[in-house]
Chains A and B, each alone.
Chain A
Amino acid sequence: MTNETMADADQTARKGWMSLLAKAPAAELKRLWADAGQEAKFQWLRAPEVGGVMVRGRAGGTGAAFNLGEMTVTRCSLRLESGAVGHAMVQGRDRDKAEVAAVIDALMQGEASEVLRATVLVPLEAGMVETAGKRAAKAAQTKVDFFTMVRGED
């Protein structure tokens, strides 16, 4: 692998876990993180801050962009003693969730990544996939086949 494709792969992986952490249910993330028993001392680069992001849509689903409305998010940045920097931008107004997400983001860049993936990220994603999957199954149960009735001659 060339350096460039390695960097691309790293970026894709990081995008993956940051996205997962952002969407994760806060309680479940905190529970898995506590159970993982990882210690991480850090300094704040930016303490958790609650804010809004304007969500955009497209006219007709594919056309010109427009502003749909805002959503709440919490962001923070920190540096571990190892020097690794972690960022978080997570949905909602939970500062603790943002802190856990940023610590995990920093740790995932180091030696703890395999353990963290197995103890936090994989079970977290599995839970979210199952929740979504159950909705998909419920939806599938409401699938209908309409058929058009032939009208009588008179």
Chain B
Amino acid sequence: MYVAVKGGERAIDNAHDWLAEERRGPEDVAELGVAQIKTQLSLAVNRVMAEGSLFDPDLAALAIKQSRGDLIEAIFLIRAYRTTLPRFGYSAPVETGAMACDRRISATFKDVPGGQVLGPTFDYTHRLLDFALEAEGLDRAAEVEPEVHPVMPRVSQFLNKEGLIQDEPRPEVDETPGDLTREPLELPAARPLRLQALTRGDEGFVLSMAYSTQRGYAKNHPFVGELRIGTVPVEMEIPELGFAIEIGEVVLTECETVNQFTGSKTEPAQFTRGYGLVFGQTERKAISMALVDRALRWKELGEDDKGAPAQDEEFVLYHADNIQATGFLEHIKLPHYVDFQSELELVRKLRREADMRQQMREAAE
């Protein structure tokens, strides 16, 4: 247990001053601006927004600067900030089918209406360091004539027309989904709550859980049915007006997996699906989320509990949050002198007793 300590103010102030100095680095190197981080380290910004659970690229960039590039620390700063914001309301669910896509690929169908669009991807690069980036002043890309974003219907929709995939029917009236920022997690968690926990969960953790399902722990044989990245408007009902307006737009990555089919004597075989939706261009996370979502659906899909970690919602959901994890992990470095003192006493007492028993045995022999 952590017990409050007093003193050390001067040392703490000096430590923080030094931290600021180290953050700035040598003064003969230009200081990094928040706008530079926002626009040139945008994938780091995306991760901080996704796991900080707040879409605001300027704030995420500031947090990255303040945290010296420690992304979990940056996420911590964003989570702390968002608790200070009054909640104005909830948006209508975003329509990802109408996304203005920068990227849209399918690993299951090569000819999809709207086409396969690679977008600004690392795929098919050679992963060789590009020393040309060390030099400044790369050529500007050629100007393009503006076009209109093509309509890109969901890939799952095609399978759905034939009834070959489990449907995700649009509810006539939306149930209010649970909100982890309002109530603590309770189990068993409904799928909406699981999706919220996964989308704000640690990318590394969700990735490893997803990978474990691919390696055989609750294998569900996923294909990326569709991956799309782009912009969607966010619409919300404004009480003063009595109608809904668009209040902004967000960049999202959406992944739908097509998974191993289930069927029974009464129901024909059908593909199942997993779903990932994450703020920003964050496709590793979105694919991972879809795999873990699918693994956690074993009960509703009538699959066996194989005892795999990714099927265990208590394990997954209680350990996905890197801010909860880091808070509990890092608190053990704070002063625990009283606690430790009592344990020290206990070990000394146990040793004294053992010594006495030893002496008595020797005396008896």
Tell me if A89 and B247 are in contact (CB < 8 A): yes
Tell me if B248 and A56 are in contact (CB < 8 A): no
User: In whole Å, how far is B252's beta carbon from the nearest beta carbon of chain A?
Assistant: 8
Tell me if B101 and A54 are in contact (CB < 8 A): no
Tally chain B residues at the interface, Cβ within 8 Å: 84
B residues in contact with A50, CB < 8 Å: 85
Closest to B193 in A: A66
Which secondary structure characterizes the binding site on chain B?
mixed
Tell me if B88 and A72 are in contact (CB < 8 A): no
User: In whole Å, how far is A77's beta carbon from the nearest beta carbon of chain B?
Assistant: 7
* B202 CB–A CB distance under 8 Å: no
- Of A51, A129, A130, A141, the contact of B87 (CB 8 Å cutoff): A51
A residues in contact with B178, CB < 8 Å: 67
A65 and B144 alpha carbons, distance in the complex (Å):
38
Given contacts A73-B88, A143-B116, are A61 and B249 in contact (CB under 8 A)?
Answer: no
B residues in contact with A91, CB < 8 Å: 234, 247-249
User: In whole Å, how far is B314's beta carbon from the nearest beta carbon of chain A?
Assistant: 19
Which secondary structure characterizes the binding site on chain A?
mixed
Question: What 1/0 mask marks residues of chain B from 217 to 257 whose CB sits below 8 Å from any chain A CB?
Answer: 00000000000000101111010110111111110101010
Tell me if A69 and B199 are in contact (CB < 8 A): yes
* B210 CB–A CB distance under 8 Å: no
B residues in contact with A92, CB < 8 Å: 56, 58, 248
Tell me if B87 and A136 are in contact (CB < 8 A): no
Tell me if B102 and A139 are in contact (CB < 8 A): yes
* A53 CB–B CB distance under 8 Å: yes
A22 and B110 alpha carbons, distance in the complex (Å):
38
A73 and B50 alpha carbons, distance in the complex (Å):
17
- Of A75, A146, A148, the contact of B116 (CB 8 Å cutoff): A146
* B8 CB–A CB distance under 8 Å: no
A35 and B268 alpha carbons, distance in the complex (Å):
65
Tell me if B147 and A137 are in contact (CB < 8 A): yes
Tell me if A68 and B146 are in contact (CB < 8 A): no
* A124 CB–B CB distance under 8 Å: no
- Of B56, B89, B195, B245, the contact of A18 (CB 8 Å cutoff): B245
User: In whole Å, how far is A132's beta carbon from the nearest beta carbon of chain B?
Assistant: 6
* B174 CB–A CB distance under 8 Å: yes
* B66 CB–A CB distance under 8 Å: no
User: In whole Å, how far is A123's beta carbon from the nearest beta carbon of chain B?
Assistant: 15
Tell me if A22 and B177 are in contact (CB < 8 A): no
Closest to B102 in A: A139
Tell me if B144 and A70 are in contact (CB < 8 A): no
* B273 CB–A CB distance under 8 Å: yes
Tell me if B246 and A72 are in contact (CB < 8 A): no
Closest to B238 in A: A89
A141 and B50 alpha carbons, distance in the complex (Å):
28
A138 and B88 alpha carbons, distance in the complex (Å):
36
Tell me if B177 and A64 are in contact (CB < 8 A): yes
* A6 CB–B CB distance under 8 Å: no
* B93 CB–A CB distance under 8 Å: yes
Tell me if B240 and A139 are in contact (CB < 8 A): no
Given contacts A89-B238, A92-B248, are A136 and B149 in contact (CB under 8 A)?
Answer: yes
30 pairs, CB–CB < 8 Å, chain A vs chain B: A15-B244, A18-B246, A52-B54, A52-B82, A52-B88, A54-B91, A55-B250, A57-B94, A58-B94, A58-B96, A61-B256, A62-B170, A64-B174, A66-B195, A67-B90, A69-B49, A69-B50, A69-B54, A71-B55, A71-B234, A89-B88, A89-B247, A90-B248, A93-B56, A93-B59, A135-B102, A135-B149, A137-B147, A141-B144, A146-B116
**Interface residue ranges, B against A (CB under 8 Å):** 49-50, 53-56, 58-59, 82, 85-94, 96-97, 100-103, 110, 115-121, 144-150, 154, 156, 168-171, 174-181, 191-193, 195-196, 199-200, 231, 233-236, 238, 240-241, 243-250, 252, 254, 256, 273, 275, 277, 279
> Given A132-B231, A142-B120, 17 more contacts at CB 8 Å?
A14-B241, A15-B243, A23-B233, A56-B90, A57-B94, A57-B277, A60-B275, A66-B193, A67-B177, A67-B179, A69-B49, A70-B53, A70-B85, A73-B247, A132-B100, A135-B100, A137-B145
**Interface residue ranges, A against B (CB under 8 Å):** 11, 14-15, 18-19, 22-23, 49-73, 75, 77, 87, 89-93, 129-130, 132-148
